[in-house]
Amino acid sequence: MRILVTGGASVLLASSSEVYGKGVRQPLAEDQDLLLGPTVKQRWSYACSKAAAEHLTLARAERIAIVVARLFNTVGPRQIGRHGMVVPRFVRQGLAGRPITVYAKGEQRRCFGDVREVVDCLVALAGAPAARGGVFNVGNDREITIRELAELVRERTGGRSEIVSVDYQSVYGEHFEDLDRRVPDLTRLERAIGRRPRADIASIIDDVVAYERAAGVPA
Ligand code: UDP
């Protein structure tokens, strides 16, 4: 693989918070150990491939300018709901007045970053000489349970939907494993570029609702 870099920017590898696996410690800091599940569980293949991509990229750090970004849940207008993606799914369900499908009890928690702020951070990381050769979490660190998210979406989409609990097996089949929590430690990001995503999830949902209404995207 040959990589041509011009203009002083770094090559940015878009990695994922999935590499932390089950998260030995929260908040998740970039240098902590990774704890992945067994290979019979499909989820971990993604984590493994992203971790391998990080290794291959970091192995070139002495010769080319690179930076690795571990993206946490990123949401906003225009996101598709095809591969899980809880926010666009809930918003479309809410707008259609259909049941909002919370998997399991909805006690699992996530932190949702606004895609516009996340992209700004990525551009800043790629252009920051101090970030070269480093691994950075990129996301928002405010947590919400999936049940709370469902309630918020219901409220912001007119309140017609009921919230239902769906078991994982009926959606994913056997051998599925969800994560209870995933909170980024953003200390390193903020130190490198002087900012981090801060938008409130309620305002992001309002933007997604406005987009879905205007687009009239079929659910
Ligand atoms: N989820 C849910 N209902 C849905 C889609 C997702 O309860 O219709 C849950 C999912 O089980 C997970 C969380 O929402 O706990 C976030 O899912 P998503 O696929 O958006 O991202 P993940 O964090 O799993 O990569």
Q: What is the pLDDT of residues 74-101, one digit of tens each?
A: 999 999 877 779 999 999 999 999 999 9
**In this structure, what CATH number is given to the domain that contains residue 122?**
3.40.50.720
- pLDDT value for 173: 86
Give the model's confidence band at 6: pLDDT under 50 very low, under 70 low, under 90 confident, else very high. low
Q: Is 113 helix (H, G, I), strand (E, B) or coil?
A: strand
102's enclosing H/E stretch is strand 100-103
- Flag whether 4 is in a domain: no
Q: Which two tokens stand for residue 26?
A: 């929260």
| pLDDT, averaged across the chain | 94
In a domain, 2, yes or no: no
Our answer to whether residue 211 is catalytic in this structure is: no
pLDDT at residue 8 above 90?
A: no
Residue 44 reports pLDDT greater than 70: yes
Write out pLDDT tens, residues 18-32.
Answer: 999 999 899 999 999
6 assigned to some structural domain: no
- Per the domain annotation, does 3 fall within a domain? no
- Our answer on whether the CB atom of 145 is closer than 6 Å to any ligand 1 atom is no
* Cα distance between residue 197 and residue 61, in whole Å: 26
Q: Is residue 188 part of a domain?
A: yes
Single out the catalytic residue among 46, 103, 168, 211: 46
Q: How many domains does the chain contain in total?
A: 1
What separation in Å is there between the alpha carbon of 125 and the centre of ligand 1? 28
**Containing structural domain, residue 104:** 11-215
**Residue 59, domain member (yes or no):** yes
